[in-house]
Structure 1
């Protein structure tokens, strides 16, 4: 659902679930024009304590920036437009269709 939302927004998904050893994982790497987008995806059920869009803490943002640098070093460096970190939150209600939200530049 998250990759589909980004594609519908005009982005090109380059990789999904890119792992970097024990450092961590980037859920989605995409291109938005000349910008590289590192996208964190969080899914929550309705009624849980935390909304998915609240999931990127300062520590998580720092780890995502580190992972983005590692991805860039292995794939030829930063594009002309730089790098942006986005968040896609998926909320799964008890009934009805999931709600997908996309926040740009969260960290």
Structure 2
């Protein structure tokens, strides 16, 4: 499995995790001028969740979430603002999560969600 396929499968695993928690998938790989949003979901309480999915192979020393540095956070916030404006949801509560996804030897996926991984500083 190549890197792109691993990433796609990791995003699908993270989306399934949220859906099992009752969230509705609103967008997957949503493209804006400022970048791409991996997953956009609505939780049962109405909160919009912008989730950046980081899929890594087993045995990596660095946590996948470490790749979501302040510059990446800024791009995600700008992309999310564009999405929310375009879809008429700019007044909705928003949370930014990071999903760390690792394939297991069994063919299953380990999904670890960091809820509220960073905040939108406006």
TM-score (norm 2): 0.78
TM-score (norm 1): 0.88
- 2:53 matched residue in structure 1: 41
**C-alpha root-mean-square deviation of aligned residues, in Å?**
1.4
- 2:42 matched residue in structure 1: 31
Inter-partner Cα distance in structure 2 for 1:75 and 1:88: 24
Of Structure 1 and Structure 2, the greater helix share is in 2
Q: Choose which of 84, 89, 94 in structure 2 pairs with 1:83.
A: 94
Which runs of 5 or more structure 1 residues have no equivalent in the other structure?
Answer: none
Inter-partner Cα distance in structure 2 for 1:26 and 1:8: 20
| Count of paired positions | 104
SS of aligned partner of 2:116: coil
Of Structure 1 and Structure 2, the greater strand share is in 1
SS of aligned partner of 2:56: strand
